[in-house]
Structure 1
Amino acid sequence: MEKVNEQKVATLPAAQKFKLLPKIINGGIAGIIGVSVVFPLDLVKTRLQNQVVGPAGEKMYSSMLDCFKKTYAAEGYFGMYKGSGVNILLITPEKAIKLTANDMFRHYLSPESGKPLTLVREMLAGGSAGACQIVITTPMELLKIQMQDAGRVAAAAKNEGKVIPKVSAISLTTELLKKRGIKGLYQGTGATALRDVTFSVIYFPLFARLNGLGPKREDGSSVFWCSFLSGCVAGSAAALCVNPFDVIKTRLQAINKAPGEPTYNGVLDCIGKTLKNEGPTAFFKGGACRMIVIAPLFGIAQTVYYLGVAERLMGLI
Structure 2
Amino acid sequence: MLDCFKKTYAAEGYFGMYRGSAVNILLITPEKAIKLAANDMFRHYLTLKDGTLPVFRQMVAGGLAGACQIVITTPMELLKIQMQDAGRVAAQAKAEGRKIERISAMQLTRSLVKERGILGLYKGVTATAGRDVSFSIIYFPSFAILNDLGPKDPVTGASAFWWSFLSGCMSGSVAALTVNPMDVVKTRMQTLTKGSGERQYSSVLDCITTTLKNEGPTAFFKGGACRMMVIAPLFGIAQTVYYLGIAEKLLAKL
For 2:141 and 2:243, locate their aligned partners in 1 and report how far apart those are by CA, in whole Å: 16
Q: Which residue is equivalent to 1:243? A: 180
Q: Which moved more, 1:153-162 or 1:189-198?
A: 153-162
> The residue matched to 1:202 in structure 2 has which SS?
helix
Q: Which has the larger radius of gyration?
A: 1
| TM-score with structure 1 setting the length | 0.76
Stretches (4+) displaced over 4 A? none
Query: Structure 1 stretches of 5 or more lacking a match?
Result: 1-63
User: How far apart are residue 315 of structure 1 and its match?
Assistant: 4.1
Tell me the distance in 1 between the aligned counterparts of 2:207 and 2:234.
Answer: 28
- Partner in structure 2 of residue 82 of structure 1: 19
Say if 1:135 and 1:314 are closer, same or farther in 2 by CA, change over 3 A: closer
- 1:292 maps to what in 2? 229
The equivalent of 2:78 in structure 1 is: 142
Q: Which runs of structure 2 are paired with 1:138-287 in the superposition (5 Å)?
A: 138-217=74-153, 218-287=155-224
- Aligned residue for 1:80, secondary structure, equals helix
1:64-121 deviations in whole A, cap 9, x for unaligned? 1222233234323332211111111111111100010001111111122223x10110
Distance 1:315 1:182 in 2: 37
Partners of 2:11 and 2:91 within 8 A in 1: no
Answer whether contact 2:30 2:72 (CA < 8 A) is retained: yes
Alpha-carbon separation, structure 2, partners of 1:206 and 1:67: 32
Aligned length: 252
Give the corresponding residue for 1:111: 48
How far apart, CA to CA, are the structure 2 residues paired with 1:162 and 1:269? 31
Percent pairwise identity: 73
Q: Which runs of 5+ in 2 are unaligned?
A: none
Q: Return the TM-score normalized by structure 2.
A: 0.95
Assess, with a 3 A threshold, how the Cα gap between structure 1 residues 309 and 142 changes in structure 2: closer, same or farther.
Answer: same
Paired with 1:239 and 1:142, the residues of 2 have a C-alpha distance of 19
Give the Cα separation in 2 of the matches to 1:157 and 1:238: 37
Q: CA separation in 1, counterparts of 2:96 and 2:208? A: 27
